[in-house]
Chains A and B, each alone.
Chain A
Amino acid sequence: MPLSRKFDWRRGLITVIMLALSIVFLLPFIWMLVTSFKMENEVFDYPIRWWPKHWHAIENYKEVWAGRYPFYRYYLNSIIVAVCTTIISAGVSSLAAYGFSKVNFKASKWLFMIVLATYMVPSQAILVPQFILYRNINLFDSHLGLIIIGSFSVLGTFMLRQFFMGVSQEYIESAKLDGAGHFRIFWSIGFPLVKPAVATYAILRFIWTWNDYQNPLIFLRTDKLFTLPLAMQKFTSMSGEFYSLIMAAAVSAILPLFIIFVIGQKSVIEGIAVGGVKG
Chain B
Amino acid sequence: MDPQSPQPAATTSSARTAEPKQPRRGSLQRGETLSGFLFVSPMLIGVFVLVLLPIIATMALSFADWNFIQGWDGIKWVGFENFRNLLDDPMFLRSVRNNLIFLLAVPVYMLISMVLAVLIDRYVYLKGYFKVAYFMPYVSNIVAVAVVWMVLFQPSYGPVNEVLRTFGFSNPPKWLADPDYALVSIMLITVWISIGFNMIIYIAGLQSIPRDLYEAADIDGANAWTKFTRVTFPMLSPTSFFLLVTGIISTFKVFDIIAVTTLGGPFGSTSLMVWYLYDQAFNNLKIGYASSVAAVLFLFVMLITAGQWAAQKKWVNY
Contact = CB atoms under 8 A, between A and B. Distances in A.
A278 B141 contact: no
B4 interface: yes
A183 B136 contact: no
Interface residues of A, number: 95
Given A108-B36, A211-B141, A154 B298 contact: no
A26 B47 contact: no
A124 B296 CA distance: 12
Given A11-B125, A232-B144, A272-B201, A128 B40 contact: no
Contact of B5 (A99, A104, A127, A247): A104
Contacts, number: 276
Chain B, interface size category, equals 35 or more
Given A28-B149, A261-B135, A124 B278 contact: yes
A5 to B, nearest CB: 12
B36 A103 contact: yes
Interface string B25-48: 000010011011111101110110
B204 A46 contact: no
Contacts of A131: 282
Nearest to B28: A176
Q: Interface majority SS on A: helix, strand, loop or mixed?
A: helix
Interface stretch (A51-59, A115-123, A194-202): A115-123
A22 interface: yes
A86 interface: no
A182 B246 CA distance: 35
Contact of A96 (B40, B147, B157): B40
A258 B139 CA distance: 7
Given A128-B287, A173-B4, A154 B144 contact: no
A31 B148 contact: yes
Interface stretch (B77-85, B173-181, B228-236, B252-260): B252-260
B119 A18 contact: yes
Contact of A257 (B49, B54, B141, B163): B141
B277 interface: yes
Interface stretch (B89-97, B102-110, B126-134): B126-134
Nearest to A21: B116
B183 interface: no
Contact of B123 (A11, A268, A274): A11
A15 B124 contact: yes
A26 B134 CA distance: 8
A114 B56 CA distance: 14
Interface string A74-115: 000000000000000000110110111001111111010011
A244 to B, nearest CB: 10
B74 interface: no
A262 B132 contact: yes
Nearest to B239: A276
Given A121-B51, A128-B290, A130-B54, A100 B40 contact: yes
B187 interface: no
Given A107-B36, A243-B151, A265 B157 contact: no
Given A92-B43, A128-B290, A229-B143, A118 B35 contact: no
A83 to B, nearest CB: 17
B151 A265 contact: no
Interface in B162-180: 162-163, 166
B7 to A, nearest CB: 11
B86 interface: no
Contact of A14 (B124, B128, B259, B281): B124
8 contacts: A95-B40, A104-B1, A121-B301, A133-B49, A173-B4, A210-B141, A214-B256, A229-B256
Interface of A: 11-12, 14-15, 18-19, 22, 25-26, 28-29, 31-32, 35, 44, 46-48, 92-93, 95-96, 98-100, 103-109, 111, 114-115, 118, 120-133, 148-149, 151-152, 154, 157, 169, 173, 181-183, 186, 207, 210-211, 213-214, 217-218, 228-230, 232-233, 236, 243, 246-247, 249-251, 253-254, 257-258, 261-262, 265, 268-269, 272-274, 276, 278
User: Shortest 10 CB-CB distances between A and B: which pairs?
Assistant: A99-B39, A152-B46, A105-B36, A273-B204, A129-B54, A96-B43, A126-B54, A129-B57, A125-B294, A250-B144
